[in-house]
Amino acid sequence: AFAQTFLDVLARPKAFFSAMPVGHGILKPLLFFLIIIQAVALSQSVWQLLGIIPPSMLTENLGRSLQAALVLVLYPLEVCVFLFLDTAINHFFLRLFKADTKGFEGTFRAEAYSAAPMLLMIVPYIGLPLAMIGVVVYKYLGLRHVHGATSKQVLAVLVLPMLLAMVVAIVLTLVTGGV
């Protein structure tokens, strides 16, 4: 089921997101998301053990084995928290622009399944930028076709939070004297 869903999302996103049922809860999309994230975490652990990629700043003073183990546990938790926060923020903006037709569950499903390109992150260095681009494209398609939103609405939903985050970062930098 995972492989078929993965292929459907990537090969036929419009059909997949348009026909995606809403009202069945968030467990299946969350499991789909977790499988991808755990595969990425496992690959990151292997690359760290082999010394191909450096450890994160939080774990750089720990041994390689402990670093790899922490990646397997902490990375999926961290990314799941981000998934829920990102979904909440995007859903807020969907409601603001009157583009919310399938509720929070529809937004969550679109976000979770649009994470399919994150599997590219198993490739060191080049996988991350490719995955980031892919996720944004599929998130756009997911939100557009799940909610039946216009292109302008979805672009505003995706761009506004980034612009607000940049403004906040600039203000915080100026206020704290970080420049």
Q: Please state, for a pLDDT cut of 70, what percent of the chain lies above it.
A: 93
Q: Please state, for a pLDDT cut of 90, what percent of the chain lies above it.
A: 77
Buried b (16+ CB within 10 A) or exposed e, 10-19: eeebeebbee
> For residue 153, what pLDDT is reported?
97
**Taking residues 94-121, what's their average pLDDT?**
96
Q: Over the chain, what is the mean pLDDT?
A: 91
Q: In this structure, what token pair is assigned to residue 98? A: 């009157």
Q: With 80 as the cut, is the pLDDT of residue 102 above it?
A: yes
pTM, two decimal places: 0.87
> For residue 127, what pLDDT is reported?
95
Q: Is 128 exposed, middle or buried (0-12, 13-18, 19+ CB in 10 A)?
A: middle
pLDDT, tens only, 138-152: 999 999 999 999 999
